[in-house]
Structure 1
Amino acid sequence: MILTIDALNMHRFPTVLEDMFQLRARVFAGRLGWDVTITDGKEIDQFDSMNPSYIVGLDDEMNVISCARVLQTMGPHMLADVFDAILAGEPPVRSPNIWESTRFCVDTQRIKSKDSKTTVSKATCELMVGILEYSKAAGITDIITVIDPVMDRVLKRSDNAPHGYVGKTVPMGKVSALAALLDCTDERISKVRAFAGIEGDVMLDEDAAVAKIKALGETSPETDVTETEDLMTYCEEQIAEAGSSSERSAALALKHALTGQVAAEMSSSS
């Protein structure tokens, strides 16, 4: 199951986000040896404060088994500002139709446990499908992603070979890193689905996800309120620090949208 989390609904999924950031710490700091910041067992960087979208794979118990982050390239992004050595002097990608996918990882230990009902290959392909389908629906034509050579081979073996590369391969922690381009087309999605035998809708409805989490006892109204208050504080800070009228308008629009959504949820639960 794939759940998409963004600025509009993140207050509903605090435990999923915490689980996701912990997985990122285990993979990127532990397994890959990247120079990332770990705080309280979670890997969170500056790009997580820029309203990215998270594509999260969940098992039947709502545990995070895979995840990726999708961020627009018109502003700061990892290939332009962190992995710029890959570009080898080329200008960074800047396009409203090309978004960056980073922090792609799969919890191989959890999936390989005796209780898992999926495989690493299936979880990897389902996450790929989730990223591509989400991106296509959002009007994104291409994904650019920073990967290691192993992931490059995984993409090719799963009939999801990149249609191009940007820059060059450079050392990164215990592995090397390169930037690949994937077009978000029905043809590519169909190929990955066929390879992994994925049928039907992989996306998990947001309300259904909330209901399932509550049924499993993994959240509480108090937690949701705290997360909502934190998000509202973030909106107020963005409004106060806006450098232009367009930035202020965008921050106000987000606050109004969140206010309306919270009111609707409170009304439906009363």
Structure 2
Amino acid sequence: MIIVIDGLNRHRFGAVLDEMYRLRARVFGDRLGWDVDIRDGKEIDQFDHLDPAYVVGLDDEGHVVAAVRALQTTGPHMLADVFNAILDGEPPIRSATMWESTRFCVDTKRLGRGRDRHSVSYATCELMIGSLEFARRSGIRDIVTVIDPVMDRVLKRSDNAPYGYVGKTAPMGKVPALAALLDCTQERIGRVRDFAGIAHDVFLTEDAALDLFARGHTSVEIETAAHAASANNDTRPLSALERYFVEQMSAARTSDEVQAVIDLIDALPGTLTPEQKFALKQAPAALAREA
């Protein structure tokens, strides 16, 4: 399931982007050994501050399992400013209708083998479809993507072979990198759909994506925060009443709804200890979803 995050809606998807950045750190820093900047477990570079678009794949439990970044080539972009060795003396690509696709990654630890909807193959193809359809709807005609030879083979195997390449293959970390060209045509999208057996609409609405992500994360995060904030920090199971408030915090989508739950906690004298109340009220601040 795919959600597109860009400069217009990214304020709603901070937690999703954080999980995406952590996935990128594991893939590009740990697995591929690229020279990337990783801080607090997240891989973020200067191009993430240029309002790119992110095409993000979520699994059925609301976890980020795939992602790719799309950036205009009319300004700074990786092929021109970081991977320019690939160009081998050729001028940088500059076109309003050709965007750069980078940081394509899939969570190979969470996903399995085979070709069902919980597999690496399915998530990869779904992300390809989402990327191409997003580009086509946005008036983008072509994509230039910096990939490694393994991803090049994946593209070809998925009936999504590049129609050409730019420059040469150049060393990047543990693996070489090359720049491939893809057209954003309905024919290409259809080929990938046929290969993967994906006929349905792959996109989620913003609200559906937020709800799915919240269901996979919020209850666990609140319960963990409640335990961590407790005065004795022991492993005492939450009481039925505490679990009720955890559920109410999980369901809250605005700061007003969160405040209403806090007011209810405060309105129960003698039912919860001051330490329990304090713990329950520490968790929700970062979890409220502004509508």
TM-score surpassing 0.5? yes
Structure ID, larger Rg? 2
Deviation at 1:22, TM superposition (A): 0.1
RMSD: 1.9
Distance between the aligned counterparts of 2:13 and 2:66, measured in 1? 15
More relative contact order, 1 or 2 (CA 8 Å, 6+ apart): 1
What does 1:119-158 align with in structure 2 at a 5 Å threshold? 119-158=119-158
User: Which residue pairs with 1:105 in the alignment?
Assistant: 105
**CA spacing shift, 1:117–1:96, aligned 2, 3 Å:** closer
For the 8 Å contact 2:160–2:188, the answer to whether it is kept is: yes
Q: Does 1:164 align with 2:164?
A: yes
For the 8 Å contact 2:2–2:127, the answer to whether it is kept is: yes
User: Which residue pairs with 1:24 in the alignment?
Assistant: 24
Deviation at 1:212, TM superposition (A): 3.0
Amino acid at match of 2:74: M
Deviation at 1:211, TM superposition (A): 2.9
Q: Does 1:185 align with 2:185?
A: yes
Distance between the aligned counterparts of 1:213 and 1:63, measured in 2? 6
- Number of aligned pairs? 224
Per the normalisation by structure 2, the TM-score is 0.74
Deviations 1:92-112 (CA, angstroms, capped at 9, x unpaired): 100000000000000000113
For the 8 Å contact 2:158–2:192, the answer to whether it is kept is: yes
Deviations 1:9-46 (CA, angstroms, capped at 9, x unpaired): 11111221111000000000000000000000000000
Distance between the aligned counterparts of 2:68 and 2:117, measured in 1? 21
SS at match of 2:153: helix
**CA spacing shift, 1:26–1:217, aligned 2, 3 Å:** closer
For the 8 Å contact 2:145–2:180, the answer to whether it is kept is: yes
Distance between the aligned counterparts of 2:181 and 2:213, measured in 1? 35
**CA spacing shift, 1:187–1:39, aligned 2, 3 Å:** same
Deviation at 1:7, TM superposition (A): 1.1
For the 8 Å contact 2:98–2:142, the answer to whether it is kept is: yes
Amino acid at match of 1:162: P
Per the normalisation by structure 1, the TM-score is 0.79
For the 8 Å contact 2:32–2:174, the answer to whether it is kept is: yes
User: Which residue pairs with 1:4 in the alignment?
Assistant: 4
User: Which residue pairs with 1:84 in the alignment?
Assistant: 84
User: Which residue pairs with 1:53 in the alignment?
Assistant: 53
Deviations 1:231-267 (CA, angstroms, capped at 9, x unpaired): xxxxxxxxxxxxxxxxxxxxxxxxxxxxxxxxxx97x
Distance between the aligned counterparts of 1:110 and 1:79, measured in 2? 30
Distance between the aligned counterparts of 1:55 and 1:29, measured in 2? 20
User: Which residue pairs with 1:254 in the alignment?
Assistant: none
SS at match of 1:109: coil
Extract unaligned runs of 5+ from structure 2: 219-249, 256-288
